[in-house]
Amino acid sequence: MLEFDDVHVGYGRSTVLHGVSASVPADGVAAVMGHNGAGKSTLLRAAIGLLRPARGVIRLAGEDITKLAPHERVARGMAYVPQGQQCFPHLTTAENLQLIADSRPGGRAAMGEALDLFPALRALLNRRAGLLSGGQRQQLAIARALITSPKLLLLDEPTEGIQPSVVAEIEHTILGLTQRGGLSVLLVEQHVGFALRAASHYYVLESGRVTSSGAGGDSAQQAVREALAV
Amino acid sequence: MTVIVSQLFTGVSIGAVLLLIALGLSLTFGQMGVINMAHGEFIMAGAYTVYVLQKVITGAGWSLLIALPIAFAVAGAMGVLLEFLLIRRLYARPLDTLLVTWGVSLILQQAARDIFGAPNVQTKAPDALTGNVRITDDLVLSNNRLFILGLAGLAVVALTLVLRFTSLGRRIRAVVQNRDLAAVSGIPTGRVDRLTFFIGSGLAGVAGVALTLLGPIGPTMGTNVIIDAFLVVVAGGIGHLKGSVIVAFALGTLQSLIEYSTTVSVAKVLVFVAIVAFLQWRPQGLFTLRTRSMA
Ligand SMILES: Nc1ncnc2c1ncn2[C@@H]1O[C@H](COP(=O)(O)OP(=O)(O)OP(=O)(O)O)[C@@H](O)[C@H]1O
Ligand SMILES: [Mg+2]
């Protein structure tokens, strides 16, 4: 579904990813793990088009999307939930969703479906998003991404810094999404257990390079923990 | 007492013009992060639109009414052109943007001199606006100032409705609050930028039409008012409508009240000092909107 081919990308003059090659299978889940600062978020920013690779190619369903603007990638079926529970703080919960549903055929229905996945948001529709809790904001962020009915979802540490009871809920929803079919996911995740349960394929990033990769599932735990320990 | 009241009324109408200018400035300021120095010349373009139309349409009333939408479109188109040709390429380079728009402002002033001549020109005020509304024998409100007040009120209401209740409004607010998040959410930020510039600059054109009712039209008329409007935007909180409204009227009345007891230039200085003091106390202005961006 998504392919990174020898991608070099960085900020200004400093290069962060030094030739990353990885792929997300159609209808599958690829997990990216790695220590703080390894370049996981940078990889997702390159995927959605916030950063342009200095070298290398990114393909979506075979099409070279390396030079497309973010909104053009969204139009081709990509959606992105950035790290850190991001939302438009001065828009209400409803407006945060409406914004994406606007001018999209079937937008209203998609908004309803997204709210069905996170029913807790229904009671918060008229509250400014900046006043929501971290967990609520993360649910809003995932709901917002789903309104575009994506074929490929990029999730950057969806449960980071969120209280445990809500974490279980979000993990449950993500697992449900990945099993629904028709959706590929690139998941950046620090919790090895959850990442491998969700993923059919994993990558470990270290200082901007892939140092380990393989099939997902619980049997990969040993290999991933060793790769992360170095 | 009535002197104070009529002075207050003058102040409120000054505030209304300031507000018309500041509304547009605030929109484009919120969008690009720095002040558009050529905004004043869009005001001038709106004013000259009335002048040109009066050569074609003889009735001063009709020409004024027709000038409102045309000035909006003319100034709006100039804004879009500026955004598309220059500002878009200087994104995230605020100092360059400031200098370039200042250069454009000088070029536009010179263009006005070449086309319309250096001396100021006058337009005819419609008969309906030359009269007064007599409240008491001492308290007389001039029709043209009432008209301007109505125009500013209309602009505030219309802009509020657009920003609050339309999909374009949601998009504009989203881009101002977090441009990167808007982009990765699928919003074509470039198109939103151009529409923002059209509306913001168009409002400057409308302000230019209003200014023809208060004084002569000249190549530097925009420069004369833009600093005050800039103060309104900064003190009101960038990108914040309510703040602009409050500060514009506060500034207008403050200025005309001080003017009453001293002179115009002393009033200007005192108002300026008041704003600097205010910004020391509240550097973010009355309200804030902007949040950090992502990448
Ligand atoms: N905007 C930026 N400008 C310059 N350098 C940056 C920027 N953002 C990230 N970096 C650097 O790029 C490297 C990779 O950062 P990145 O955010 O991709 O790490 P990460 O793997 O997502 O870490 P974390 O687990 O903490 O989220 C880090 O060294 C970081 O300092
Ligand atoms: Mg990260």
Query: Residues of A numbered 39-98 whose beta carbons fall under 8 angstroms of chain B's beta carbons: which are they?
Result: 45, 48-51, 69-71, 74-75, 79-80, 82, 86-91, 95, 98
Cα within 13 Å of Cα(B267), Cβ side: 16
The answer on pLDDT for B282 being more than 80 is: no
Find the mean pLDDT for residues B36-46.
94
The answer on pLDDT for B295 being more than 50 is: no
Chain A nearest C-alpha distance from B183 (Å): 6
Q: Are strands A55-60 and A63-64 parallel, antiparallel or unpaired?
A: antiparallel
- The two three-digit tokens of residue A13, written as one number: 């003059």
Q: Is the CB of A42 inside a 6 Å radius of any atom of ligand 1? A: yes
Contact between B123 and B217 under an 8 Å Cβ cutoff? The reply is yes
Find the mean pLDDT for residues A143-149.
92
Q: Between chains, do A88 and B177 touch, taking CB under 8 Å as contact?
A: yes
pLDDT at B292 (0 to 100): 40
pLDDT at A3 (0 to 100): 93
pLDDT at A106 (0 to 100): 84
Q: Are strands B132-134 and B140-142 parallel, antiparallel or unpaired?
A: antiparallel
The answer on pLDDT for B288 being more than 70 is: no
Which of A85, A90, A146 should be substituted to probe chain B, the one whose Cβ sees the most B Cβ atoms within 10 Å?
A: A90
Nearest CA in chain A to B184: A70
Q: Between chains, do B180 and A50 touch, taking CB under 8 Å as contact?
A: yes
- Provide the percentage of residues in chain A whose pLDDT is more than 90: 59
The answer on pLDDT for A126 being more than 90 is: yes
Which of A99, A104, A111, A186 should be substituted to probe chain B, the one whose Cβ sees the most B Cβ atoms within 10 Å?
A: A99
pLDDT tier for residue B84 given thresholds of 50, 70 and 90: very high
DSSP A147-214: TT--SEEEEE-TTTT--HHHHHHHHHHHHHHHHSSS-EEEEE-S-HHHHHHH-SEEEEEETTEEEEEE
Chain A nearest C-alpha distance from B160 (Å): 14
Nearest-ligand number for the alpha carbon of A39: 1
pLDDT tier for residue B283 given thresholds of 50, 70 and 90: low
Q: Rounded CA gap, B290 and A83, in Å?
A: 19
Q: Is the CB of A83 inside a 6 Å radius of any atom of ligand 1? A: yes
With the most atoms of ligand 1 within 8 angstroms of its CB, the residue from A35, A41, A86, A209 to mutate is A41
Q: Rounded CA gap, A42 and A14, in Å?
A: 12
Q: Between chains, do A102 and B178 touch, taking CB under 8 Å as contact?
A: no
Single out the residue of B189, B238, B32, B165 nearest to residue A91, CA to CA: B165
Residues of B in contact with A99 (CB under 8 A): 167, 170-171, 174, 185, 187
pLDDT at B239 (0 to 100): 63
Q: What residue segments make up the domains of chain B, in order of their start?
A: 2-119+126-281
The shortest CB-CB distance from B170 to any of A69, A95, A145 is to A95
Cα(A40) to centroid of ligand 1, in Å? 8
Find the mean pLDDT for residues B112-120.
92
Protein residue with least CA distance to atom 4, ligand 1: A11
Find how far residue B85's CA is from the centre of its chain: 22
Cα(A33) to centroid of ligand 2, in Å? 10
pLDDT tier for residue B293 given thresholds of 50, 70 and 90: very low
Q: pLDDT (tens digit, 9 = 90+) per residue, B227-276?
A: 888 888 888 876 677 888 888 888 888 878 777 777 777 777 777 777 77
Q: Rounded CA gap, B238 and B290, in Å?
A: 8
- The two three-digit tokens of residue A144, written as one number: 């917002």
pLDDT at B189 (0 to 100): 92
**Ligand 1 atom showing the smallest separation from residue A157 Cα:** 27
Q: pLDDT (tens digit, 9 = 90+) per residue, A173-218?
A: 888 888 877 899 999 998 888 888 888 899 999 998 988 888 877 7
Find out if CATH 1.10.3470 is the number for domain B2-119+126-281.
Answer: yes
Residues of A in contact with B188 (CB under 8 A): 69, 71
The answer on pLDDT for B90 being more than 60 is: yes
pLDDT tier for residue B115 given thresholds of 50, 70 and 90: very high
ipTM of the complex as predicted: 0.91
The answer on pLDDT for A80 being more than 70 is: yes
The answer on pLDDT for A160 being more than 70 is: yes
Which of B185, B192, B240 should be substituted to probe chain A, the one whose Cβ sees the most A Cβ atoms within 10 Å?
A: B185
Cα(A82) to centroid of ligand 2, in Å? 9
Protein residue with least CA distance to atom 7, ligand 1: A11
Query: Residues of B numbered 188-227 whose beta carbons fall under 8 angstroms of chain A's beta carbons: which are they?
Result: 188-190
Q: pLDDT (tens digit, 9 = 90+) per residue, B178-235?
A: 999 999 999 999 999 999 999 999 999 999 999 999 889 999 998 878 888 888 888 8
A12 interface with B at CB cutoff 8 Å? no
Q: Mark out the alpha helices in chain B (DSSP H runs).
A: 2-32, 39-56, 60-85, 94-116, 127-130, 143-165, 167-177, 179-184, 189-211, 221-236, 241-261, 264-281
pLDDT at B72 (0 to 100): 97
Which of B184, B187, B195 should be substituted to probe chain A, the one whose Cβ sees the most A Cβ atoms within 10 Å?
A: B184
Contact between A135 and A162 under an 8 Å Cβ cutoff? The reply is yes
- Provide the percentage of residues in chain B whose pLDDT is more than 90: 40
- The two three-digit tokens of residue B73, written as one number: 């479109």
Contact between A187 and A32 under an 8 Å Cβ cutoff? The reply is yes
Nearest CA in chain B to A142: B185
Residues 6+ apart with CB under 8 A from A78: A2, A47, A48, A60, A150, A151, A152, A153, A154
Q: Is the CB of B295 inside a 6 Å radius of any atom of ligand 1? A: yes
**Average pLDDT of chain A?**
90
A172 interface with B at CB cutoff 8 Å? no
Residues 6+ apart with CB under 8 A from B202: B24, B71, B72, B73, B75, B76, B79
Residues of B in contact with A75 (CB under 8 A): 186
Q: What is the side-by-side order of every strand in the sheet holding A152-156?
A: A78-81, A152-156, A184-188, A29-34, A201-206, A209-215
Nearest CA in chain A to B295: A50
Residues of A in contact with B178 (CB under 8 A): 86, 88
Residue A106's φ and ψ, nearest 5 degrees, are 80, 10
Q: Is the CB of A9 inside a 6 Å radius of any atom of ligand 1? A: no
The answer on pLDDT for B294 being more than 60 is: no
